[in-house]
Amino acid sequence: MQAAPGAALFIPALIGAASGLAVTLVAGYLAVRRYLRERGDEQKTLLNALAGELANLHEHYTYASRELPPDATDLQEIRLRLQWSIYGPLHSSQDVSRYGFLTVEDIGLLLQLSLRIRNTDILLQLMLEDPSNITPEEIDYAADRMEYAIRTTGELLRRLERNHPRLKTILNALERDLRLPG
């Protein structure tokens, strides 16, 4: 019995197609693995940046709130302390879509913290416009706003640690240095 004339070409074509499929599957698998590894690395980097910024914010406001003078008699001193107390933008809140690994509650706290920082900075800038009219109550109010940021930052860092235990070393350092509430 003689084989059909196209059969001799069919088998090599089938082997070629199977080989091409195998190469495509292996390349696809390797690409997905690389993407997942890079995404994990990016999330780790973002988490480190977030934790570092929150730790910095916590430390900044801890010192700033303690260094506000209890009275406003020394205008040069009050001006200096108010200027030092301004934090600036919370960079981690600029593009929260990058923080998909955070919970909805964590993102909400981060955004609330960003608004509180912005509003505290505005308050401090308004106070700087005329330091001769600053009352002790206004100084207390500014310190209370900083304390809120400290508490929120501490809560957010604790929540991050529960979901990412490797952050424990950062929190231990904060607790040691600043007595992080917890």
pLDDT per position as a tens digit, 30-45: 767 776 676 666 778 8
Domains (range + CATH), the chain: 43-178 (1.20.120)
Q: Tell me: the pLDDT tens digits for 116-132? A: 999 999 999 999 999 88
Buried b (16+ CB within 10 A) or exposed e, 149-162: bbebbbbbbeebbe
Please give the distance of CA 176 from its chain centroid, rounded to a whole number.
22
Q: Rounded to two decimals, what is the model's pTM?
A: 0.75
Residues 58 and 153: their CA atoms lie apart, in Å, by 6
